Amino acid sequence: MNEPHPTRPDYEAELRKTGVRITRPRKVILSILSDAGDHPDALEIFKRAVEIDSGISLSTVYRTMKLLEEIGAIHRHAFEGGPSRFEPAGEEHHDHLIDIETGDVIEFHSARIEELQEEIARELGYDIVRHRLELYGRKRRAGRSARGG
Amino acid sequence: MNEPHPTRPDYEAELRKTGVRITRPRKVILSILSDAGDHPDALEIFKRAVEIDSGISLSTVYRTMKLLEEIGAIHRHAFEGGPSRFEPAGEEHHDHLIDIETGDVIEFHSARIEELQEEIARELGYDIVRHRLELYGRKRRAGRSARGG
DNA sequence: AATGCAATTGCAAATCGTTTGCAATTAGAG
DNA sequence: CTCTAATTGCAAACGATTTGCAATTGCATT
């Protein structure tokens, strides 16, 4: 068995805390998010949800994602091109490397880069509110030396 | 007055080079881009264009931006929230700090960050094809040390 | 367990930024 | 100046997301 995330988020608790109803559609969506190891978009979440309860609508998925984002339970990422993709907010801060061939997302973190960002902003007279660092790349061809091909 | 860009791009030449027609609408749009010191979006370019030639359509602006992007004459940036914004491709590579209050864009560059990005990607087994580093912040309240000017 | 009502839903229509099909116009080679 | 393919404006189509609305439902209350 593989743990999708180090910190399994208890979304229902988070929702209750904000005085929001735990409805059937929300339960389904929340369960999907809980064990999503990837970074699905709204449509993908919708598809997974329909398999569990065919009555769920795409609007509800969008509404739920917005709700979860507002209470800070998930993060929304608008990677180049595609629709927004989501991930639980539990983990600690990280940036993303997107495989431009597969769409796979790899998380990474660099304290040094963060420091440099702060430094740059400071020098420009700004306070960073949030930032976005995305690397778009492709898997390096293993084996022979660096060659085009 | 003020030089919008260190390197004033000769868009018409670039277009001619790719065997594309220099039409009236294109001339207008190109002239706007040439002395745009900011990072306007398509609608903004359209508005400026209409002041010069009221016959220009928004579709043509979009088509021209796409064309210029394809030949590598401009860069498109999809900053959080808003529509794509454009800038001449002439300058050397840089990233962006976006003032979340005004929408102003400040350009910066950090060789060190670039290096670190490469290093990270390499360690993850990837080659970076492109990347995106955006800082979203607000002007620091002029406390004591730094003074805005 | 039944009640009541605001929160939530599904649906369809609306929205926003952008692209596209098409018939009319036009740049620019000959 | 002629010719034709490239380009245009327009409106309609687009994909992702949001919204109005009437019907439904969670859940605090009896």
Quick: pLDDT tens for B95-145. 999 999 999 999 999 999 999 999 999 999 999 999 999 999 999 987 655
Pairwise CA distance, residues B141 & B131, whole Å: 31
Beta bridge partners of B136: A130, B98
Cα A62 from chain centre = 14
B99 touches chain A (CB under 8 A): yes
Query: Which residue in chain B has the smallest CA separation from A95?
Result: B133
Query: Identical fold at A11-88 and A95-137?
Result: no
Q: What is the CATH number of domain B11-88?
A: 1.10.10.10
B148 touches chain A (CB under 8 A): yes
Inter-chain touch A126–B140, beta carbons under 8 Å: yes
- The answer to whether B41 CB is within 7 Å of strand C is yes
Pairwise CA distance, residues A106 & A143, whole Å: 22
Residue A22 CA to nucleotide C6 C1', Å?
14
Q: Which residues of A touch B112 (CB under 8 A)?
A: 116
Q: Is it the case that residue A144 has pLDDT exceeding 80?
A: no
Question: Please, how many CA atoms are within 13 Å of residue A102, restricted to the half-sphere of its CB?
Answer: 10
The pLDDT value recorded for residue B149 is 36
Nucleotides of D under 7 A from a protein CB: 6-12, 15-20, 25-27
Inter-chain touch B140–A127, beta carbons under 8 Å: yes
- Report helix, strand or coil for B127: strand
Residues 6+ apart with CB under 8 A from A78: A84, A85, B78, B80
The pLDDT value recorded for residue B1 is 44
Question: CB of B73 within 8 A of CB of B14?
Answer: yes
Question: CB of B5 within 8 A of CB of B88?
Answer: yes
Pairwise CA distance, residues A135 & A97, whole Å: 5
Residue nearest to nucleotide C12 (CA to C1'): A59
Residues 6+ apart with CB under 8 A from B2: B37
Query: Which residue in chain A has the smallest CA separation from B108?
Result: A120
Task: Tell me how close the Cα of B105 comes to any Cα of chain A, in angstroms.
Answer: 12
Q: Is it the case that residue B2 has pLDDT exceeding 60?
A: no
Name the residue ranges covered by the structural domains of chain A.
11-88, 95-137
Pairing verdict, β A74-77 and A85-88: antiparallel
Pairwise CA distance, residues A43 & A50, whole Å: 10
- The answer to whether B32 CB is within 7 Å of strand D is no
- The answer to whether A23 CB is within 7 Å of strand C is yes
pLDDT in tens, A6-50: 555 678 888 888 889 999 999 999 999 998 989 999 999 999 999
Mutation target vs B (from A100, A101, A104, A132; most B CBs, 10 A cutoff): A132
Domain A95-137 belongs in CATH node 3.30.1490.190: yes
Residue A1 CA to nucleotide D27 C1', Å?
36
pLDDT in tens, B4-63: 455 566 788 888 888 899 999 999 999 999 989 899 999 999 999 999 999 999 999 999
Nearest to A31 by CA among A12, A13, A44, A56: A12
Q: Which residues of A touch B108 (CB under 8 A)?
A: 120, 124
Task: Please tell me the pTM assigned to this model.
Answer: 0.85
A138 touches chain B (CB under 8 A): yes
Pairwise CA distance, residues A85 & A136, whole Å: 15
The pLDDT value recorded for residue B95 is 97
Report how far apart, in Å, the C-alpha atoms of A49 and of each of A26, A31, B47, B135, B146 are: 10, 9, 44, 35, 52
